[in-house]
Structure 1
Amino acid sequence: MRQLVAALMLSILALPALAIAPDASMRPHARGQEAAVLNMRPKLRVQIKLGDAAALPLRPKPRPVSEQEKAMVLSGGAMVLLASAAAGLPQSARPLARPKGLAQKVMGQRQKRKRELVRGSVCGDPALQGEVVGRVPGRINGCGVDNAIKLRSVAGVKLSQSSTMDCGTAKALKVWVEKGVKPALGNRGGGVSTIEVAAHYACRTRNNKKGAKISEHGKGRAIDVSGFTLKNGQTITLLKGWRSAKDGPALKRMHKAACGPFGTVLGPNADRYHQDHFHFDTARYRSGSYCK
């Protein structure tokens, strides 16, 4: 009797546990079935489908090929890049590998250019390109040049004719080109290409007057400039441009910049002999540069 009562008591105690038992397994669902409820915040549950989650991209889409990278198509690294882009493959964020031997090639070109500049330089300055002439004797007393050079370009600007002068005059010309000509013209027409030389060394008197003193041209200390040619082929002349609204301001700025590097600076306002050119020379005066 006691055993029967104990069995009944155990059955009654087990009934609440059976009533509250879960009706679903706690095991995770297989792929493609409804997903478990995810806890996003306390007391907040969001239900999503595994199929929807699988549709989300796990990797970023390949970025489009830039124009710069297309321009590099001849390099090996760019060919690989374009091929991967065409196939729709994700691209690495790493920079393209530098083509083999590129650094050596660039350095070689720079060294070659430097050697060419040094080989063609005069007066110990690569910005002055020409050749050494040496002693130039004069046909009349007072003329001639010691240690003359024949200059063909200054600071990257060609002279319309190779000009004979001494190094002091060549260096003054360089200062004027860099601080006067280039700033005055800027990028107009692509920048200055050529300086039009009207005269350089010539064994003669001043203004070719009989009995006058020897000109600085006869000593290799002077150069006459009649105008400029720009990289686009446009020309600017002293004769037509000095008093024009278009070219006058730039030419007057150049005239002013020459005062200092040169001892004598003469332009169209000086006299009737200089209406179509600048006269520059390196004669020095106690009172300083003479500019007119």
Structure 2
Amino acid sequence: MTRRVLSALLLLLAGTVAAEVPQSSKRPVDRPAALTLEGSGAISTAAPRAATLRGTAPAVSLRPRMRTREVRRLIRRHQKLRAAGAICGDPAIQGEVVGAVPGRIAGCGVAQAVRVRAVSDIALSQRAVMDCGTAQALKTWVDGSVKPTLRKMGGGVASLKVAAHYVCRTRNHKAGARISEHGKGRAIDISGFVLRDGSTISVLTGWTARDTSRALRRMHRDACGPFGTVLGPDADSFHRDHFHFDTARYRNGTYCR
């Protein structure tokens, strides 16, 4: 076979193979940018951009509005301010870590004390030293009872009047008595509530007053649970002008009077 004939056969063979190759690619074709359901249920590619059921497209966008840059900045600033003074692992409890507080007599002292200035944005009239368990109980009571109870009185609660917190002493200052929970950093005494309009609800005068008695008694009752011991004006003469709260626990549950 001559070289010329061989070349002709190769050209003929190449043409035959090319003719058998499909003209269109077998690669899947991308779907159209938008699909709609027609009345017949068939899918149409000549549809608007967003796939909707004909006649049911909402007139107003359901996409939530984004916060403005200024709102986001204020939120971040508030979060940083709260986090900067957070103690006990809770941004809602504001204050500072004190550490170990030694007692001057046996039985007193706090292993890991904190000094609380506010809980859930409600200020304390004086910075109170306690342990974190007591601080958490105070926050639970403020959130669950104080705020909702006083929300319609004088614009709501602004601060708590603290009568006593940590102090190394015996119960009711009696000689020979057991060490008070105050001496262990597990107690706080509340003598009143300052409202946002500047008025004050006093435990001493408000316990039997017509316009405040119900609120005070409700808050006293609601403290049973978050705290292990709750004492008020009906307990004894030592507590006629304040609520005593502590986190001591007893086998038979909370002690509330």
Aligned match of 2:73 = 108
More contact order relative to length (CA 8 Å, sep ≥ 6): 2
Q: Secondary structure at the match of 2:248?
A: coil
Q: Secondary structure at the match of 2:154?
A: helix
Asked whether 1:216 is paired with 2:181, we answer: yes
Q: CA deviation at 1:103?
A: 2.2
Q: Provide the rounded CA distance (Å) in 2 between the counterparts of 1:185 and 1:138.
A: 37
Asked whether 1:290 is paired with 2:224, we answer: no
Q: Deviations over 1:171-221 (max 9, x none)?
A: 000011011111211221111001000000000000000010000000000
Asked whether 1:172 is paired with 2:137, we answer: yes
Q: CA deviation at 1:269?
A: 0.3
Aligned match of 1:185 = 150
Question: Which residue among 93, 109, 112 is the counterpart of 1:144?
Answer: 109
Q: Provide the rounded CA distance (Å) in 2 between the counterparts of 1:275 and 1:237.
A: 11
Question: Which residue among 215, 239, 244 is the counterpart of 1:279?
Answer: 244
Alignment of 1:230-249 (within 5 A): 230-249=195-214
What letter matches 1:211 in structure 2? G
Aligned match of 1:44 = none
Q: CA deviation at 1:109?
A: 1.6
Q: Secondary structure at the match of 1:188?
A: coil
Q: Secondary structure at the match of 2:175?
A: coil
Name stretches of at least 5 consecutive residues in structure 2 with no aligned partner: 1-66
Question: Which residue among 245, 261, 267 is the counterpart of 2:232?
Answer: 267
Q: Deviations over 1:213-262 (max 9, x none)?
A: 00000000000000011000001101100011111000000011000000
Question: Which residue among 78, 84, 94 is the counterpart of 1:119?
Answer: 84
What letter matches 2:99 in structure 1? G
Q: CA deviation at 1:106?
A: 1.9
Output the aligned Cα RMSD. Answer: 1.6
What letter matches 1:198 in structure 2? A
Q: Provide the rounded CA distance (Å) in 1 between the counterparts of 2:134 and 2:106.
A: 21
Q: CA deviation at 1:105?
A: 2.3
Q: Deviations over 1:40-91 (max 9, x none)?
A: xxxxxxxxxxxxxxxxxxxxxxxxxxxxxxxxxxxxxxxxxxxxxxxxxxxx
What letter matches 2:223 in structure 1? A
Q: Provide the rounded CA distance (Å) in 2 between the counterparts of 1:246 and 1:170.
A: 29
Structure 1 or 2: more helix by fraction: 1
Q: Secondary structure at the match of 1:190?
A: coil
Q: Provide the rounded CA distance (Å) in 2 between the counterparts of 1:116 and 1:234.
A: 28
Asked whether 1:162 is paired with 2:127, we answer: yes
**Percent identical:** 60
Question: Which residue among 256, 266, 289 is the counterpart of 2:221?
Answer: 256
Q: Provide the rounded CA distance (Å) in 2 between the counterparts of 1:229 and 1:107.
A: 32
Asked whether 1:134 is paired with 2:89, we answer: no
TM-score (norm 2): 0.73
Stretch deviating more after TM superposition (268-277 or 174-183):
174-183
What letter matches 1:264 in structure 2? T
Q: CA deviation at 1:113?
A: 1.0
Q: CA deviation at 1:139?
A: 0.5
Q: Provide the rounded CA distance (Å) in 1 between the counterparts of 2:166 and 2:175.
A: 18
